[in-house]
Amino acid sequence: MSAQINKNFLNISQSYLFAEIAKRIRDWQAANPEHASKLIRMGIGDVTRPLPETVVEALVKASREMGVAETFHGYGPEQGYDFLKTAIQNYYTRFHVALEQDEIFISDGAKSDIGNILDLFSVDNTVMVTDPVYPVYVDTNVMAGRKIIYAYSSEENGFLPMPAPEYKADLIYLCSPNNPTGAVYNREQLTAWVNFARDNGSIILFDAAYECFVTGDLPHSIYEIPGAKEVAIEFCSFSKKAGFTGTRCGYTVVPYALKRDGADLNHMWLRRQTTKFNGVSYIVQRAAEAVFTPEGEKQINENIQYYKDNAKIITDTLDRMQIFYTGGKNSPYIWMKCPGGMKSWDFFNDLLEKAYVVGTPGAGFGKSGEQFFRLTAFSTHENTEEAMRRFERIYG
């Protein structure tokens, strides 16, 4: 008898993507000290605008409440306070999605829930991810020893893989608007996935972390698709919506209608969370509530518009240069084809050396990214404009 580790951990591939990028930048800076100050980072996956004033005031007010016995909050409900669940419930009615309050679970972020939800499923389940892929979907399943199927994508399908017999899997990850491609499934496409899941008894794990960038008739939530409540769990976050990447709040929707093997997944998730989680800070939940006030919405929309304006600077340039891309219109990510048929790491080097601009090589997100490159809208207007000027001058 001796403690044994979970040997599946040994199968997780080390991600060298961002470490390798950092190393190449350091090497370049050392070799080119005279240009170092001109470096522009367009690979940033984190927001850069501060928290809106309304959110800060909510944080301050809640912090002060915690210092007074009469308004102090100790343990809260593991699944979140009703005041925040009500605000989210109301938000969903805009997309004509009716949720019960207890179908919504507040968490410290979508990444935690996307990983922890797997506690609910058998390790014998097969998993499908679209490629290129947010690495967390893969690593969390490798950790548990599940078999993974990849749905590859390309220019031909607009980086939006559609159901096919060979993609039959028990758990299907969809991210729309997508990280890293920025591509968004329309209603018809998402309906095809929901029907595919219904036909095969699959469960869709729908990552809606970027839904706030969606415009027009594109779906914000998978529950806008009829029948989705029987087959889908949805994850969302305040990170990109309201700049909460360092404040930490998200939510997960597990509909009552989602049942398997005679078990109710909403109840299973409640049980998981009450056993392995103790709820999100009261202060942070009050801040998240403020996001939905009229003043809060106005302020967060200004920030989202700021990032969208950056995205437009990028897509206008690519349009002029007739370079293929996805994203940018309903997403902070722009997934562009590397100019001149370059491979993504070659283009990374070329862009750094000639334009002093950094992005993310598509190969880092999977095989389908070999000739693609991710730019993000999280820089300043000035830097985005300057980066695209240099880009057009060199590759135009």
Q: Is 129 in the site for a second copy (CB under 8 A)?
A: no
Amino acid at site 245: T
Q: Is 74 in the site for a second copy (CB under 8 A)?
A: yes
Q: Is 17 in the site for a second copy (CB under 8 A)?
A: no
Rounded Cα distance, 233 and 223, in Å = 9
Q: Which residue has the tokens 């009552």?
A: 256
Segment contacting a second copy (CB under 8 A): 138-146, 184-192, 320-328, 388-396? Answer: 138-146
Of the pair 265, 318, the CB lying nearest a second copy is at 265
Q: Which residues share a beta bridge with 131?
A: 152
Of the pair 32, 195, the CB lying nearest a second copy is at 195
Among 21, 42, 51, 358, binds a second copy (CB under 8 A): 51
Instruction: Give the E-state strand segments of 132-181 in sequence order.
Output: 147-152, 171-175
Beta strand 333-337 with 372-376 is antiparallel
Of the pair 31, 60, the CB lying nearest a second copy is at 60
Q: Is 112 in the site for a second copy (CB under 8 A)?
A: yes
Q: Report whether 200 contacts 71 (CB < 8 A).
A: no
* Rounded least distance, CB 373 to a second copy, Å: 22
DSSP state letter for 134 = -
* Rounded least distance, CB 340 to a second copy, Å: 33
Of the pair 111, 374, the CB lying nearest a second copy is at 111
Among 12, 39, 192, 257, binds a second copy (CB under 8 A): 12
Q: Is 386 in the site for a second copy (CB under 8 A)?
A: no
Segment contacting a second copy (CB under 8 A): 22-30, 50-58, 82-90, 327-335? Answer: 50-58
Bond from prior residue into 132 cis (ω within 30 degrees of 0): yes
Q: Which residue has the tokens 């017999």?
A: 165
Of the pair 54, 221, the CB lying nearest a second copy is at 54
The CA-based diameter of the chain, rounded to the nearest angstrom, is 67
Q: Is 48 in the site for a second copy (CB under 8 A)?
A: yes
| Burial profile 162-199: b = 16 or more Cβ within 10 angstroms, e = fewer | ebeeebbbbbbbbbbbbbbbbbbbeeebbbebbbbbee
Site for a second copy, residues 235 to 294, rule: CB under 8 A: 243, 245-248, 260-261, 263, 265, 268, 271-272, 275-284
Q: Report whether 208 contacts 218 (CB < 8 A).
A: no
Rounded Cα distance, 171 and 120, in Å = 11
Site for a second copy, residues 161 to 220, rule: CB under 8 A: 168-171, 200-203
Q: Is 4 in the site for a second copy (CB under 8 A)?
A: yes
Q: Is 53 in the site for a second copy (CB under 8 A)?
A: yes
Among 11, 93, 101, 122, binds a second copy (CB under 8 A): 122
Rounded Cα distance, 11 and 365, in Å = 18
Q: Is 305 in the site for a second copy (CB under 8 A)?
A: no
Bond from prior residue into 361 cis (ω within 30 degrees of 0): no
Rounded Cα distance, 151 and 132, in Å = 9
Among 67, 216, 294, 340, binds a second copy (CB under 8 A): 67
Q: Is 50 in the site for a second copy (CB under 8 A)?
A: yes
